[in-house]
Amino acid sequence: MAKVKNKEAARAIKFALFSASAGIIEFVSIALLDAVTPWRHFYCYLVGLVLSVLWNFTLNRRYTFKSANNVPIAMLKVACFYAVFTPLSTWLDKVLTENYLWPGMLSTVLIMSTNFVTEFLYDRFFVFGKSLDTNDLAKREQEKEAAAE
């Protein structure tokens, strides 16, 4: 039981670190696009979001969830998550900052925290749930553990 808890804690930590790196990619991409293109901010935001989602999906699929599942199907499931989350979070940000006068960064932190928790649970149980620890990396680790016992 402790081994399972440790494994899940390690998954959560890896997910948090990869999500933080995806957040950095999103912020940097948006800032660069805002600075060097004539695009409206909304388009820069969407490009930054897509880049961060692709980064996060790729790393978490391989290293956090160690999944060998069908990539297009898994990516479609993630796209469905963002098809719901993106409009809702955009609406919530507008309501909090315009109607309730929250500082933009406070709203952003709340939305990113919500995204982190809901996406971890969605990925863990829906996207990768049946294919956890099935890729080549997981199989090598299982072989090492079996040899050590």
DSSP, residue by residue, 83-119: HHHHHHHHHHHHIIIIIS---HHHHHHHHHHHHHHHH
Q: Is the pLDDT of residue 82 over 80?
A: yes
Residues 97, 107 contacting (CB under 8 angstroms): yes
Average the pLDDT over 29-54 and give the result.
90
Residues 75, 54 contacting (CB under 8 angstroms): no
Predicted confidence band at 79 (pLDDT cuts at 50, 70, 90)? very high
* 77/65 Cα distance (integer angstroms): 15
Q: Is the pLDDT of residue 4 over 90?
A: no
Summary mean pLDDT of the chain: 93
Average the pLDDT over 33-49 and give the result.
89
Exposure on the CB side of residue 28, measured as CA atoms within 13 A: 8
Predicted confidence band at 96 (pLDDT cuts at 50, 70, 90)? very high
